[in-house]
Amino acid sequence: MSAQSPTLPSVNPGAPSMKKRKRRKGNWSKFFHHPRAIAGLIILAFFVLLAILAPVLAPYNPQANIFIPLQPPSWQHLLGTTNTGQDIFSQFVWGAQTTLMVSLIGGGLSLIIGLLMGMYAGYRGGWIDGLLNSVSNIFLVLPSLALLIVIESYVKGTSPLIIGMIIGLTGWAFGARVFRSQTMSLANRDFVVAAKLSGMSDLRIMFGEILPNMSSIVATSLMYGCLGAMLAETGLAFLGYEGMSTSSWGVILYMADGGGAMLSGAWWWFVPPGLAVALVGTSFSLMNFAMDQITNPRLANSKRRRKSRVANSGT
């Protein structure tokens, strides 16, 4: 396993890792100067602003069907209208809010569960590790969308909030695996052993010593989680599990599919929401890529050998 170098240090002021603190600053400022990270941040910021300003930006009520149906984009209707005469731009702007919210809830919840499961399993080891690892392996290989559909078919009429929570409850396995292996490699480092010997409680070691050393992985995992949650939400809403009273990007696609956007040639109906999902997803991937290049020196400098960094952990 190419254990990613835990160059990111502890926030705990007493922690014996002065050397690493310098490097941490380096990593984050490198991140904010990396062109791909900046591009990703700009795209994400654009859609986040769109979502926050939805009440101001949306010109009409997204549900009001009072316009001439199936108009192509114009100045009155930036993205045209639906077959029932709703303004698609208003739906799109409000959809940004719903979709990004579900994405954050799903990604955040799966991060928290994955972190707890992975760190606990990796830190404790033994049969607890065996059990938790088996559970997360099962969740890892079960096709999550199929599982989500089955759950949704029992839970009728869900709101975006509940959808986000269900996505979070089923999507934590990948993070758990990454955190587990990272915790296992950190748990034997000198600074953790020192913390144990000084009588720190397990909880404090896990959250005060180990967690801060994985902050780049936590960030990467959160972004992957949000990306996965957004795609899952789009899929579930498209299959009609989100109800038509909300307007998320997936719901717009669902309405477009049901409303015959295809056969009436209304490309303006289904192109924007999918494109927006893909762009937000790209922004997450861009930031992840930047993070990867910064924390994994092998990818950054080609043909350079891996150096042992254990010596830096200092006591």
Partner 1 sequence: MRYFLKRLGFLIFSIWAAMTLNFILPRMMPGNPALILFGRFQGKLPPQALKSMELEFGFSHAPMIIQYFQYLGNMVTGNWGISYTYFPLHVTSLIAQYLPWTIGAVGIATVFSAVIGTFLGIWIAWRRNGIMDRVLPIVTMFMQSIPYNWSSFVLLYIFGFSLSWLPMYHSYSANTTIGFNGPFISSVISHGILPVVTIFISGVSGWIIGMRSNMINTLGEDYVTFAEAKGVSPRRLIFSYAARNAMLPQITSIAIVLGSVVGGSILMEQVFSYQGIGFLLNNATSSEDYPLVQGIFLIIAIVTLVLNFVIDMLYSRLDPRVRTGGAN
Contact between 154 and partner 1 by CB under 8 A: the answer reads yes
Nearer to partner 1, 14 or 157 (CB): 157
CB of 61 to partner 1, least distance (A): 25
CB of 303 to partner 1, least distance (A): 5
Contact between 304 and partner 1 by CB under 8 A: the answer reads yes
User: What's the CA gap between 86 and 216, in Å, rounded?
Assistant: 43
CB of 178 to partner 1, least distance (A): 12
CB of 296 to partner 1, least distance (A): 8
User: What's the CA gap between 189 and 112, in Å, rounded?
Assistant: 24
Among 13, 55, 126, 143, binds partner 1 (CB under 8 A): 143
User: What's the CA gap between 296 and 138, in Å, rounded?
Assistant: 29
Nearer to partner 1, 127 or 154 (CB): 154
Rg (CA), the chain: 23
Which tokens is 38 given?
A: 């900046």
The tally of CA atoms less than 13 A away on the side-chain side of residue 239 is 16
Nearer to partner 1, 121 or 286 (CB): 286
Contact between 298 and partner 1 by CB under 8 A: the answer reads yes
Among 68, 146, 197, 311, binds partner 1 (CB under 8 A): 146
Q: Give residues with Cβ within 8 angstroms of 214, minimum separation 6.
A: 6, 8, 179, 182, 183, 186
CA distances, 202 to each of 130, 146, 197 (Å): 19, 37, 11
Q: Give residues with Cβ within 8 angstroms of 28, minimum separation 6.
A: none
Which positions from 213 through 232 interact with partner 1, judged by CB under 8 A? 227, 231-232
Nearer to partner 1, 16 or 235 (CB): 235
User: What's the CA gap between 245 and 234, in Å, rounded?
Assistant: 15
Contact between 28 and partner 1 by CB under 8 A: the answer reads no
Task: Print the binding letters for residues 4-23 with partner 1: x by CB under 8 A, - otherwise.
Answer: --------------------
φ, ψ for residue 218, nearest 5 deg: -60, -45
Contact between 205 and partner 1 by CB under 8 A: the answer reads no
- What single DSSP character describes residue 242? S
Asked whether 186 and 1 are in contact (CB, 8 A), the reply is no
Contact between 187 and partner 1 by CB under 8 A: the answer reads no
Nearer to partner 1, 90 or 248 (CB): 248
Amino acid at 69: P
Which positions from 258 through 297 interact with partner 1, judged by CB under 8 A? 262-263, 265, 267, 270-271, 273-275, 277-282, 284-286, 289
Asked whether 110 and 167 are in contact (CB, 8 A), the reply is yes
The tally of CA atoms less than 13 A away on the side-chain side of residue 78 is 10
Classify residue 221 as exposed, middle or buried by CB count within 10 Å of its CB (0-12, 13-18, 19+): buried
Among 188, 198, 245, 302, binds partner 1 (CB under 8 A): 302
- Closest to 73 measured CA to CA, from 92, 56, 54: 92
CB of 72 to partner 1, least distance (A): 14
Contact between 151 and partner 1 by CB under 8 A: the answer reads yes
Contact between 112 and partner 1 by CB under 8 A: the answer reads no
Binding residues for partner 1 (CB under 8 A) = 1-2, 36, 134, 137-138, 140-147, 149-155, 227, 231-232, 234-235, 238-240, 250, 253, 256-257, 262-263, 265, 267, 270-271, 273-275, 277-282, 284-286, 289, 298-299, 302-306
